[in-house]
Amino acid sequence: MEKWRATSNLRRSLKSILNRQLSSVSEFRYLNEKRSCQSSFNLIRDCKSLGQVNAIQHRCFSSASTLVQRNPSFSTLNSDDISYFKGLLGEKSVIQDEDRLETVNTDWMHKYKGSSKLLLLPRSTEEVAQILRYCNSRCLAVVPQGGNTGLVGGSVPVFDEVIVNVSSMKNIISFDKVSGILVCEAGCILENLISFLDNQGFIMPLDLGAKGSCQIGGNVSTNAGGLRLVRYGSLHENVLGLEAVLANGDVLDMLGTLRKDNTGYDLKHLFIGSEGSLGIVTKVSILTPPKLSSVNIAFLACNDYSSCQKLLMEAKRKLGEILSAFEFLDTEAMNLVLHQFDGVRNPLPASMHNFYILIETTGSDESYNREKLEAFLLSSMEDGLISDGVLAQDINQASSFWRIREGVPEALMKAGAVYKYDLSLPVEKMYDLVDDMRIRLGDLAKVVGYGHLGDGNLHLNVSAPEYDDKILEQIEPYVYEWTSKHRGSISAEHGLGLMKANKIYYSKSAETVQTMASIKKLLDPNGILNPYKVLPHSLNS
């Protein structure tokens, strides 16, 4: 993992450390000093003592071989640029204030921090187009940003890229009540869309823990998965059209609202999941499912992982069309949540179980669905698949179950340092990795496994009080190699961003990646859109 940290105050100690390091590092320093005397480094984790900071410095430079260097072909901002943007967008949408820049430069996990000097807040597609046209002509690197809730460092600058944040583009353009097709701007917050649709009797096809802050443009750009994928499918299936702005300022209007349209190559799929590296998504047209009245949710306990798998098989068979979510968490995850949050109580307090499963069903007939779910649960209990479980009796209890599952990432953040991995693996093998990691790490750190069992998606998290290279060595590249061996994906839904930009070969062939690079070169010849991310750095000419 690449990290950029330091502070200008520590230049003195920096010098002594640097003198001990490899030549590639001095190259790094040289480039940065050449750039500007301003703080080219930033401290990320709160460091309580200088000694700790030195350790972090050391760690940063010890992985010098994977260090990224600022692309020298990108220009630096000057006052003419600022005046141009102010003229184009107005004073209020051009932010240079240090405090505001601080937040947009840092990602949600406080792991990655850039040093951008400029935040732009366009309010329309036309403004985005003009910004990109100008930046392309000046060769200024740009980072598209929405809710900044990404987990792989893809939404924040690496160096001084200009941040183009679409939060001000938050209008709902239209909604067709008959077909359920929603057209809205990219800056709409997911939770707001969910509330809007609620009034109309519909729901969004995706739901994630970050819904209070994440924006639909970002969701689409990262092909976000979420909790309901097992029922409604991925965004590739639900997005009917989108409008995107290319690097040179051209606006691609692919904002169709048609269910079927086989005219030519379906380019929108390129943008869905490209993490802002091929274009900035400005509008989305999405198919929303009707809101069904009967939602039931059960919180269950299983003794071992094979029971969880069998339960999943049975659920898909017996609950069939009404199954809308199938999530799992292990004891470690449950303990973490109970420990970190006050208002949360364990629905199954009798004893600590090994695995917890959350099953949600959504259907139109309350009594029929409830009976179906109860029958399934009781027969699973008789077959020994479930050791205990509770069924929510009202919406409040249902929310409390979701709070536990959705709260795991937050609890991990609060517990200290966390190494996050998001892997797609064959269901039978999934938990073997967690067990392996526990053996490998021993007492060094706590290994937590949870995720969307229904989609074969494991969120493997390693939690430790502090970041430590000894822990990182045990994890990478072992986790990636393990995943690759089982033909899994090293990033099921989080994307590659900065964190996994050089890891794509674990899951994709060289020829495939080469073709991706060609497409990137075609759509963004100067490489200004979200540089240093998604594709390996070696491919940037």
Partner 1 sequence: MKIMVPVKRVVDYAVKIRIKPDKSGVETQNVKMSMNPFCEIALEEALKIKESGLAKEVVAVTMGPSNCVDTLRTGLAMGADRGIHVEAARDLVPLSVAKVLKKLVEVENPGLLILGKQAIDDDCNQTGQMIAALLGWPQGTFASKVVLDKEKQVATVDREVDGGLETLCLDLPAVITTDLRLNQPRYATLPNIMKAKSKPIKRYTPEELNVEIKSDLEVVQVTEPPKRKAGVILSSVDELIDKLKNEAHVI
**Which span (33-41, 378-386, 446-454, 517-525) binds partner 1, by CB under 8 A?**
378-386
Of the residues 378, 465, 477, 512, which one makes contact with partner 1 according to CB under 8 A: 378
The least distance separating partner 1 from the CB of residue 295, rounded to whole angstroms, comes to 7
Q: How far is the CB of 197 from partner 1 (least distance, A)?
A: 13
- For position 17 contacting partner 1 by CB under 8 A, the verdict is no
CA distance 74 to 64: 22
Residue number with CB closer to partner 1 (44 or 295): 295
375 binds partner 1 (CB under 8 A): no
Residue 18 DSSP SS3: helix
Report the candidate in 297, 346, 464, 334 with the shortest Cα–Cα distance to residue 408: 334
- Asked if 168 touches partner 1 (CB under 8 A), the answer is no
Q: Which one among 119, 252, 278, 392 touches partner 1, defined by CB under 8 A?
A: 392
**351 touching partner 1, by CB under 8 A:** no
Among 49, 79, 367, 538, binds partner 1 (CB under 8 A): 367
Cβ proximity to partner 1: between 198 and 428 the closer is: 198
Q: What is the nearest approach in angstroms of partner 1 to the Cβ of residue 365? A: 10
Q: Toward partner 1, which CB reaches closer, 358 or 499?
A: 358
Task: Specify the stretch interacting with partner 1 by CB under 8 A; choose among 47-55, 75-83, 318-326, 394-402.
Answer: 394-402
Q: Which two tokens stand for residue 65?
A: 């071989």
- Helices then strands, counting H and E runs in the chain, come out as 20, 16
As a whole number of angstroms, the distance between CA 492 and CA 110 comes to 22
Rule CB under 8 A: is residue 371 a binding residue for partner 1? no
Task: Pick between residue 336 and residue 392 the one whose CB is nearest to partner 1.
Answer: 392
Pair 96, 54: CB distance under 8 Å: no
Residue of 20, 24, 32 whose CA lies nearest to 57: 20
| Residue 389 makes contact with partner 1 by CB under 8 A | yes
294 or 540: whose CB is closer to partner 1?
294
Nearest to 498 by CA among 244, 184, 157: 157
Which is closer to partner 1, CB of 65 or CB of 393? Answer: 393
By the rule CB under 8 A, 262 interacts with partner 1: no
Find tokens 């890891």 and name the residue. 503
Q: Where are the alpha helices (DSSP H) in 106-179?
A: 125-138
Q: Which is nearer to partner 1, 46 or 394 (CB)?
A: 394
Q: Which stretch binds partner 1 (CB under 8 A): 112-120, 146-154, 354-362, 385-393?
A: 385-393
Q: Is 393 in the site for partner 1 (CB under 8 A)?
A: yes
Query: Measured from the CB of residue 389, what is the shortest distance to partner 1 in angstroms?
Result: 4
Q: Which stretch binds partner 1 (CB under 8 A): 83-91, 119-127, 342-350, 522-530?
A: 342-350
The residues, ordered by sequence, that sit 6+ positions from 463 with a Cβ below 8 Å of its Cβ are 336, 412, 415, 416, 417, 418, 445, 446, 447, 448
Angstrom CA distances, 362 to 291, 324, 397, 424, stand at 9, 6, 16, 25
Q: Which residue has the tokens 């959350």?
A: 358
Listing from the earlier edge strand, what are the strands of the sheet with 181-185? 172-176, 181-185, 280-287, 239-245, 251-254
End-to-end CA distance of the chain: 22
Six-digit token string for 64: 């010098």
Q: Are 227 and 327 in contact (CB under 8 A)?
A: yes
Query: Helix crossing, 79-89 with 125-138: angle to 10°?
Result: 160
Choice between 370 and 521, CB closer to partner 1: 370
Q: Which is nearer to partner 1, 146 or 363 (CB)?
A: 363
CB of 310 to partner 1, least distance (A): 17
Tokens of 416: 């200290």
Site for partner 1 in 397-426 (CB under 8 A): 397, 399
Residue 307: what residue type?
S
Collapse the DSSP code of 179 into the 3-class scheme (helix H, G, I; strand E, B; otherwise coil) and give the result.
coil
Contacts to partner 1 from residues 282-311, by CB under 8 A: 293-295, 298-300
Answer for which of 377, 418, 464, 479 binds partner 1 (CB under 8 A) is 377
For partner 1, the closer of residues 80 and 91 by Cβ is: 91
How far is it, in rounded angstroms, from Cα 49 to Cα 95? 32
Should residue 208 be labelled a site residue for partner 1 when binding is judged by CB under 8 A? no
Query: What does the angle CA 104 – CA 105 – CA 107 come to, to the nearest 5 degrees?
Result: 85
Cβ 528 to partner 1, closest distance in Å?
Answer: 36
H/E run at residue 380? helix 366-382
388 scored as a contact of partner 1 (CB under 8 A): yes
- Of 48-56, 372-380, 415-423, 442-450, the window that binds partner 1 (rule: CB under 8 A) is 372-380
- What are the residues binding partner 1 (CB under 8 A)? 198, 293-295, 298-300, 345, 347-348, 366-367, 374, 377-378, 381, 386, 388-397, 399
